[in-house]
Amino acid sequence: MLSFIFIVLFALPAVLGLYFNIGQQFAEAGASLTTDAYVRFALPIAAPLLPAVAIVIGYAAIAREGERGSLKILLSLPYTRGELLAGKFVGRSAITLIPVTVGFLTTLLVLLPSEIEIAWESFLLFALATMAYGVVFTAFAIGLSAALKTARRAMAASLGIYVYLQVFWSNLGAGLGNLLSDHANIGEVTQLHVELFVSLLSPIAAYRTLVQEILQGSPIRSRLLLTSNPQVTCEEMLGGTLEVTQAGAECTNAALPPQYGTVAVIGYLLLWLVVPLVAGYYVFENKDL
């Protein structure tokens, strides 16, 4: 069932692009149609949908077993609570990854014989980033499942946080920047720092900007997409020159501070895996079943 959804999710755009040539509008002007067009098409679908799927897969993992009592049977066997949590994480991650993988493989099967050129590097990096993204949200849901008493609460908490990230987080950075600017008299550059940094702490934004980076080939260009004022960000904050080309804004001669670099953003994304698992483990380890 999940595999089917993911085939539809990932392979359908490819099929559409192939047969109806819709993909052309996602291709960069003048360039030939490659799988990058497919990635552009799939990103806005995968970014909001995959977390929801991963949460559905993970939220009940431990909380429901606790509620129903099968946890007592598991923990009567020679397993510690930590091992149980680790096992659930591995198992549920696999459940998330199998349909994602099947989706990508189907896409490849559809695209291989077509005239769309496969840009292997960006396609595989996109697949890898998407898998990591799915695992991050699975871990997030499992962490909450381990910490909370009922599956219902785990679902409400994980979906609630997800909706918050999806709907409100993008405004949080800008809003916080404005607030500090109005009341704490911070400069425009500091305001943009706040905005960009806070935005990147969302796993959804982190994933999106990493995929943009794969497509754009430049971390700076993809980070600029996250700020409300690309010109000031480029020229005042990063010390570059903003050139608007046909392909979009380009910031030349700029240096990206390490906290916005690729490694840092991957780190922010992985924080959403590590923190829920560690916190979930801590609560689970110390609670009465």
Partner 1 sequence: MAAIELDGVTKQFGSLTALQGVDLTVEEGEIFGFLGPNGAGKSTTINILLDFVRATDGSATVLGHDIHEEPKRIRARTGVLPEGYDVYDRLTGRQHLSFVIESKDADEDADELAERVGIADAIDRKAGGYSKGMQQRLVLAMALIGEPDLLILDEPTTGLDPNGARLMREIIREENERGATVFFSSHILGQVEAVCDTVGILQNGRLIAKDSVAGLREAAAGDTVLRVTLSDGDGTDDAVAAIEGLDEVSTVTADGTTLTVGCDSDAKMAVLNAVEESGSEVANFETEEASLDEVFAAYTEQQEQEQPEVDA
Contacts with partner 1 by CB under 8 A lie at 68-70, 72-73, 75-80, 286, 288-289
**Residue closer to partner 1, measured from CB, 32 or 80:** 80
d(CA 181, CA 113): 55
The nearest distance, CB 69 to partner 1, in angstroms, is 4
Distance CA 170, CA 195 (A): 9
Nearer to partner 1, 82 or 248 (CB): 82
Residue among 245 and 286 whose Cβ is closer to partner 1: 286
* 146 touches 62 (CB < 8 A): yes
Nearest-approach distance from CB 197 to partner 1, in angstroms: 40
CA distance 37 to 43: 10
Q: Measure Cα distances from 262 to 29, 128, 169, 227 in Å.
A: 27, 15, 20, 17
Q: What are φ and ψ of residue 32, in 5° steps?
A: -80, 160
Sign of dihedral through CA atoms 97, 99, 104, 109? positive
Residue burial 214-249, b: 16+ Cβ < 10 Å; e: rest:
bbbeebbbbbbbbbebbebbbbebbebebeeeeeeb
Shortest gap between Cβ of 82 and partner 1 (angstroms)? 10
Write down the least CB distance from residue 287 to partner 1, Å. 8
Q: Which is nearer to partner 1, 115 or 288 (CB)?
A: 288
Shortest CB 78 distance to partner 1, Å? 4
**Residue with smaller CB distance to partner 1, 65 or 213:** 65
CA 216 to centroid of chain Cα atoms: 17
Q: How far is the CB of 210 from partner 1 (least distance, A)?
A: 38
Two tokens at 133? 């993204």
User: Whose Cβ is closer to partner 1: residue 81's or residue 221's?
Assistant: 81
